[in-house]
């Protein structure tokens, strides 16, 4: 995983804890100095401009069932079921089973639109309305990304209440 400095831009424990509290991220320092974080977020957000309900989460991408089975087994042996890095669960803390992830993956696949790129193309993506990614690619390419101002969680009317710790 990322180092504390890579993830939070600081190795100062107090600064990291302030950031976590300000962003409703629960945290726990392990005896070996490793930081464990978790956060409860809504799977569906209301778009801050249109009010449209948007599927906006990492369930299909940061989940134990999207890992290679051997990697998952190794990580469970190493960290335990509750210590997997980058895992998602239901809001009540229950695990999300592989059958649910399979359905979500199928919906993503059914709704995927592939855009054949040409040199000089520009693609604008509303990150709340559109899941995005890229397929495996071989060869040289250069992709430039520019981000607009971050959308604040409070402006998206999550379907669950998220409060700072």
Q: Give me the residue spans of the domains in the chain.
A: 1-39, 42-152
Give the pLDDT of residue 1.
Answer: 64
pLDDT digits (tens, 9 = 90+) for 75-98: 999 888 888 888 999 988 899 999
**Percent of the chain surpassing pLDDT 90:** 36
d(CA 38, CA 46): 22
What tokens does 68 get? Answer: 């290679």
What tokens does 160 get? Answer: 């669950």
Q: What's the whole-number average pLDDT of the chain? A: 87
pLDDT at 162 over 70: no
Close Cβ partners of 79 (under 8 Å, ≥ 6 residues apart):
85
Close Cβ partners of 84 (under 8 Å, ≥ 6 residues apart):
64, 72, 75, 76
pTM: 0.78
């Amino acid at each position: 995983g990322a180092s504390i400095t890579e993830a939070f831009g600081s190795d100062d424990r107090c600064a990291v804890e302030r950031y976590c509290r300000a962003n409703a991220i629960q945290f726990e320092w392990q005896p070996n100095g490793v930081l464990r974080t978790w956060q409860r977020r809504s799977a569906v957000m209301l778009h801050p401009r249109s009010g449209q309900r948007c599927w906006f989460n990492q369930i299909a991408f940061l989940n134990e069932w999207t890992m290679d089975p051997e990697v998952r087994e190794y990580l469970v042996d190493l960290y335990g079921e509750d210590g997997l890095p980058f895992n998602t669960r239901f809001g009540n803390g229950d695990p999300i089973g592989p059958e649910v992830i399979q359905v979500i993956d199928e919906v993503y696949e059914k709704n995927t639109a592939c855009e054949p790129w040409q040199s000089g193309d520009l693609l604008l993506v509303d990150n709340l309305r559109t899941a995005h990614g890229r397929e495996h690619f071989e060869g040289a390419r250069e992709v430039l990304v520019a981000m607009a101002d971050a959308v604040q969680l409070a402006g998206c009317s999550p379907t669950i209440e998220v409060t700072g710790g």
